[in-house]
Amino acid sequence: GQQLNQSPQSMFIQEGEDVSMNCTSSSIFNTWLWYKQDPGEGPVLLIALYKAGELTSNGRLTAQFGTTRKDSFLNISASIPSDVGIYFCAGDAGGTSYGKLTFGQGTILTVHP
Amino acid sequence: EAQVTQNPRYLITVTGKKLTVTCSQNMNHEYMSWYRQDPGLGLRQIYYSMNVEVTDKGDVPEGYKVSRKEKRNFPLILESPSPNQTSLYFCASNRQGFRYEQYFGPGTRLTVT
């Protein structure tokens, strides 16, 4: 099946630093999504991207839908301790009515105060 | 409060002993899904349901069963659990037309010995 490669697998940063992570695929996706999972919780949708080249922000988070439709990027500016968690990219290749998502392996983010 | 609930949250069982993990949503969503989360593999879809009495296999359906007799409930059944089904399980739901805004439950951590 389709696979998404997410990198880096983990990040250890100081509070205030900016964070970048990305996701690549061998096939084209019509939609890219970014989720965050807090410890002991289920994933929560952060940003949804629907168009190649689209750049969308949600507070300190900015995500981009790559122009090749095979990649996406998430940036977090001025990180704070509550940014800790696992970040997942997910993509939908289309062809279903309900949106079948393929998830990346996740990026574990640790923020040191 | 709009939510997806799962029970139990934690379960330790033995090989071959049938078990059911319940999932319920109070948002009147048409679509529901089950995922399993394993380290380094992200979330992989087990089964999904597009509405009452309509279910289909996801990416990793072997060893699992589901049913959708009521719109709000989508139980996951392991007829004969095996150790390789030790994992963290998430139920999710979303509304028709809002297919990417999946709401996830809090997760069920299953250990099969």
* Average pLDDT over all residues of chain B: 94
pLDDT at residue number A52: 94
pLDDT at residue number B40: 84
Structure tokens at A70: 């095979």
Whether B101 and chain A come into contact, CB under 8 Å, resolves to yes
Question: Is the CB of A6 less than 8 angstroms away from the CB of B42?
Answer: yes
Q: Confidence class of residue A93 from pLDDT cuts 50, 70 and 90?
A: confident
pLDDT at residue number A94: 74
Whether A83 and chain B come into contact, CB under 8 Å, resolves to no
Whether A91 and chain B come into contact, CB under 8 Å, resolves to no
pLDDT at residue number B41: 87
Taking CA–CA distances from A40, the nearest residue in chain B reads B106
Contact list, B44 vs chain A (CB under 8 Å): 103
Nearest C-alpha neighbor of A31 from the set B98, B65, B55 = B98
- pLDDT score of A60 more than 90: yes
Structure tokens at A34: 């970014």
Distance separating alpha carbons of residues B113 and B81, to the nearest angstrom: 9
Distance separating alpha carbons of residues A106 and A86, to the nearest angstrom: 6
pLDDT tens by residue, A1-37: 567 899 999 999 999 999 999 999 988 998 899 999 9
User: How many angstroms from the chain centroid is the CA of residue A37?
Assistant: 11
Q: Confidence class of residue B68 from pLDDT cuts 50, 70 and 90?
A: very high
pLDDT at residue number A1: 55
Percent with pLDDT over 70 in chain A: 94
Distance separating alpha carbons of residues A36 and A104, to the nearest angstrom: 12
Whether B42 and chain A come into contact, CB under 8 Å, resolves to yes
Question: Is the CB of B102 less than 8 angstroms away from the CB of A45?
Answer: yes
B98 Cβ contact list (under 8 Å, min separation 6) = none
Nearest to A99 among B35, B58, B99 (CB): B99
pLDDT at residue number A39: 87
Question: Is the CB of B100 less than 8 angstroms away from the CB of A33?
Answer: yes
Question: Is the CB of B100 less than 8 angstroms away from the CB of A99?
Answer: yes
Q: Confidence class of residue B99 from pLDDT cuts 50, 70 and 90?
A: low
Taking CA–CA distances from A93, the nearest residue in chain B reads B100
Distance separating alpha carbons of residues A81 and A91, to the nearest angstrom: 27
Contact list, A92 vs chain B (CB under 8 Å): 99-100
Distance separating alpha carbons of residues A3 and A17, to the nearest angstrom: 30
Distance separating alpha carbons of residues B30 and B95, to the nearest angstrom: 6
Structure tokens at B55: 């279910």
pLDDT at residue number A54: 94
Q: Confidence class of residue A100 from pLDDT cuts 50, 70 and 90?
A: confident
pLDDT tens by residue, B69-94: 999 999 999 999 999 999 999 999 98
Cα dihedral across residues A67, A13, A38, B77: positive or negative: positive
For chain A positions 7-66, those within 8 Å of chain B (CB to CB) are 9, 31, 33, 40-45, 48
pLDDT tens by residue, B14-63: 999 999 999 999 999 999 999 999 988 889 999 999 899 999 998 899 99
The three-state (H, E, C) secondary structure of chain A, written as one string: CCCEEEECCEEEEECCCCEEEEEEECCCCCEEEEEEECCCCCCEEEEEECCCCCEEEECCEEEEECCCCCEEEEEECCCCHHHCEEEEEEEECCCCCCCCEEECCCEEEEEEC
